[in-house]
Amino acid sequence: ALPLRTSMLKCSVEGFSRNVKAMTARERDMLQLVSLKSRYPNEKIPRSRREYFQGSITHRRKFFNRHFDKSRFIKLITWNVASLRNICAKYHSQLAHLMKYEQPDVLCLQETKLSSSAGGDSIARFEGYDFFDAVSLEKRGYSGTRTYVRKQFCSSPIHTEGFSHEASQACKQGRVITTKIQCSQISPRSVHPTLRELFVVNTYVPTSGLDKETGTFPKLSSRLQWDHELRQHFRHIQSANGPIPLIWTGDFNVLFDLDHYWKDSYARMMQTPGFSFEERNSFRQTLDDSQLVDCFRHLYPQSAHSYSFWSNMEKGRLGNRGLRLDGFAISKTIAPRII
């Protein structure tokens, strides 16, 4: 009986220690919550996961590929490929099938990690499409964006790399491609006049980084400066071209609404790059100043648990705990026309 009691006592002690650790974690989270509320009194900070998702629903997709009418609609797709060379090496047939099945008019890729000196312009060519690459000049095989445009949709798109107002770090890292599109006159489509000419800005927004020892974001200031330059870029486009619609797409690297609570507590979410108040407020400011609308929230205002990224380290796909980092933001004038 003695060994049995010893094992039972050992289990009881271990269970008690786990409870103590759990209580300590909850107390720490409460202290962080109080600290956050004192620092940001105007921010709505939920106390629990239930309060965080209060009033949200799981949406159902309203529009499928079988409903797509190529004679009347324009289709745009964005995708962070995390190395286009690896995608082509492992899933080239799937990529070709995607282009054949979806047939996008504009395809924007981020984090291509290509280099012009290594033959990057010969990778992932598709019949009927032209593309433009922006590669990193600071570090080989880093960052980078690519924009495809269907020839039947626009025979001569105008691509520019970087910001329009000044040379910046974004130009050196290949994070921005601005494409001016004019629908081809020989196209059989009956596109609405407001969409005959538009700008598509493909961006791979830099992250603020995370120092795990201190829990701070060492690149936050440079990230906010990048957002400021992006707003100036949008302002320059809109002032120089008048009422031409603007479509901003890519990897935004920001968690700006109520579908990103994927950790144990809100306080721990604050240790996720892109979730800081400064980054989220900067994103909202970009939308407000540029008169843009988040397309997903426009279609699904109360949706939750809808993501574009799942962390392998967090095993996010198992419990559908992800982040919506990618998307589209368009001019308010054409917002009623998105589907």
253 is in an annotated binding site: yes
DSSP H helical ranges for the chain: 2-39, 49-52, 84-102, 169-173, 220-241, 266-269, 277-289, 295-299, 316-319
Give me 184's structure tokens. Answer: 């081809």
User: b/e per residue, 168-199, with b = 16+ CB within 10 A?
Assistant: bebeebbbbbbbbbebbeebebeeeeebbebb
Residue 167 exposure: Cα atoms within 13 Å on the Cβ side: 2
202 is in an annotated binding site: no
For 8: left if phi > 0, alpha if psi spans -120 to 50, otherwise beta; the answer is: alpha
Residue 70 buriedness (CB in 10 A; 0-12 / 13-18 / 19+): middle
Helix, strand or coil, per DSSP, at residue 178: strand
Residue 37 exposure: Cα atoms within 13 Å on the Cβ side: 11
DSSP string, 60-74: -----GGG--TTT--
Distances (CA, A) of 298 to 241, 286, 293, 331: 25, 16, 7, 12
Binding-site residues, in ranges, read: 80, 111, 251, 253
Q: Which residues are annotated as a binding site for Mg(2+)?
A: 80, 111, 251, 253
